[in-house]
Amino acid sequence: MALIDLSIFIIYMILMLGVGFYFMKKNTGQDDYYVGGRNIGSWHIGLSVVATDVGGGFSVGLGGLGFVMGLSGSWMLFTGLLGAWIAAVTLIPIVKANPAFEKFYTLPQIFQYLFDKKVGIVAAIISFIGYLGFTSSQLLAGAKLASGTFPTLDLNTALLIMGVIAVVYTVLGGLKAVIYTDTVQWIVLMLGFIFIGLPVSYYHVGGWESIRNTLPDEYFSLANLSWQDFANWGITILPIWFVGMTLYQRIFASTDVKSAKKAWFIAGLFEWPIMAFMGVSLGLLAKVAFEQGLIVESLETLDPEMGLPILLSTVLPPGIMGLMMSAYFSAVLSTADSCLMAASGNLTTDLFGRSLRTKSDKFVMRVSQLFTLIIGVVALIIALQMTNVLDLMLYSYAFMVSGLLVPIIAGLFWNMRSPVAAMASMIIGGGITAVLSLMNVSLPFGLDPNFFGVFASLAVFLLVYKTKNVQ
């Protein structure tokens, strides 16, 4: 690792920590800490949304998909565009129009409002577990980038560095620090992709003719995927726009309906085609480099998600490498910090809210910071036990979707507000997905466990709801 690369990276990290310290002094209570004072503009919200959603998991994961299947891997984020735009048209007007939601901080508070307190608690537990796993996936993504790029840095040491930085500035600054650093981090990531990663990698593998001659035609096709691939991505990613607490926090943080909708349209467009094709293209270039012998590892031992960082470490000169790593770490931090805030909100507001209700704003904020710190440490420990970023992230998504999607749709859109039906569907849906994922069994048609969890959740909700109404 060149000294100049290390220096650039350290300076960038210090700047991120500085943002946390700055907003620590600005935060006066939970409104500031969890929803940014409820007056943040559409561009900051929009860039924060896409930075959070894409993040390190998709950045590293997209590179892995590009390495394995080429441009068709971009369809994974097409589901993100669909989810963002559908939510903008259908979900945001409902959430922002309800005066009861004006003082809410979390998604489980909506569950409690629609159903009852017990349903809200179960929703909080599901959301908390999901975002704990999601945070771990982001820390693992950052560690993979670091250890793949800097050979002298092992994976566990890299995890510790990422964890400390992400946790510290999130603990200090809250959602304002998260959103404003997300904006900077997303811009840095885009500039890194456009002006460093793509052109330098393209040049070193020999340009277009060399790329075409090295890889088979299916790598350049948008049809190099099965219907199961798209179905599994769709059932996992598209619904997250309706159950992701990081997203509800940003709806609450937006100034009004118009501003929030604009933010979601911005986010969707950045997800696909912009980020999608840049991410898989870099993975495709890593595959070319591997076939050309620039990446000296056997296909049996090489983790596809490591192909991209190894390529970058091979082709980027000192100084430029530091800038590119800062760009990639931006993606990681922009998601890890948001997931930490979501999980912390679940604990502070939904699970311990009654105990803190009579306490001062200052005391509650300090408790919030303590919870954020504890969650960050636990997420780091989980990340130390995992190996695959995309799998960990999608498992976390799937658990939240299968547990929360049906009740929130039923309550908000269909006015079907049975607490018993909601509770049953959450437990059955989330439980089936979790069990099937842990069992790692072959499922019919190659479908994701989430498919079976969601449809089981729907069937149970409708059955219980109809039964209760007949009585």
pLDDT grade for 71, boundaries at 50, 70 and 90: very high
C-alpha torsion sign, points 224, 209, 313, 291: positive
Angle of CA points 1, 194, 318, to nearest 5°: 20
Is residue 207 left, alpha or beta, with left meaning phi > 0 and alpha meaning psi from -120 to 50? left
* SS3 category, 199: helix
Q: Per the structure block, which two tokens stand in for 246?
A: 């990081």
Give whichever of 102-106, 211-215, 307-311, 392-396 has the largest mean pLDDT: 211-215
Give whichever of 14-28, 33-47, 211-225 has the largest mean pLDDT: 211-225
Distance CA 36, CA 444 (A): 45
pLDDT grade for 389, boundaries at 50, 70 and 90: low
Q: What is the pLDDT of residue 106?
A: 92
CATH for 3-390, among 2.60.40.10, 3.80.10.10, 1.10.443.10, 1.20.1730.10? 1.20.1730.10
φ, ψ (nearest 5 deg) of residue 349: -90, -45
26-45 pLDDT, tens per residue?
766 777 777 877 888 899 89
> Is pLDDT at 390 greater than 70 in this prediction?
no
Q: Per the structure block, which two tokens stand in for 449?
A: 């466990």
Instruction: Report which of residues 384 and 465 the model is more confident about.
Output: 465
> Is pLDDT at 423 greater than 80 in this prediction?
yes
> Is pLDDT at 171 greater than 60 in this prediction?
yes
Q: What is the pLDDT of residue 242?
A: 96
Please name every residue paired with 40 in a beta bridge, in sequence order, or none if there are none: 254
Q: Which residues of 64-92 are buried (b: 16+ CB within 10 A; e: fewer)?
A: bbbbbbbbbbbbbbbbbbbbbbbbbeebb
Q: Per the structure block, which two tokens stand in for 309?
A: 């960082």
Distance CA 292, CA 299 (A): 13
> Is pLDDT at 307 greater than 60 in this prediction?
yes
φ, ψ (nearest 5 deg) of residue 102: -65, -25
Q: Per the structure block, which two tokens stand in for 370?
A: 């303590």
Distance CA 307, CA 8 (A): 23
> Is pLDDT at 1 greater than 60 in this prediction?
no
All residues at 6 or more sequence positions from 339 whose CB lies less than 8 Å from its CB, including other chains: 52, 131, 132, 134, 135, 138, 246, 379
Distance CA 242, CA 71 (A): 27
Cβ atoms 268, 42 nearer than 8 A: no
Sorted by where each begins, the domain ranges of the chain are 3-390
Residue type, 458: L
Q: What is the mean pLDDT of residues 309-322?
A: 80
232-260 pLDDT, tens per residue?
999 988 999 999 998 998 999 999 999 99
Distance CA 430, CA 42 (A): 33
The percent of residues above 70 in pLDDT, for the chain, comes to 94
* SS3 category, 461: helix
Please name every residue paired with 235 in a beta bridge, in sequence order, or none if there are none: none
| Residue 426 CA: distances (Å) to CA of 55, 74, 175 | 27, 31, 28
All residues at 6 or more sequence positions from 225 whose CB lies less than 8 Å from its CB, including other chains: 69, 72, 73, 75
User: Which of 22-36, 160-174, 266-280, 410-424 has the least mean pLDDT?
Assistant: 22-36
Spatial CA neighbour of 49 closest among 257, 245, 340, 264 = 264
Distance CA 404, CA 137 (A): 21
Spatial CA neighbour of 161 closest among 182, 178, 185, 144 = 144
Is residue 359 left, alpha or beta, with left meaning phi > 0 and alpha meaning psi from -120 to 50? beta
Task: Return the number of other C-beta atoms located less than 10 Å from residue 226's C-beta.
Answer: 12
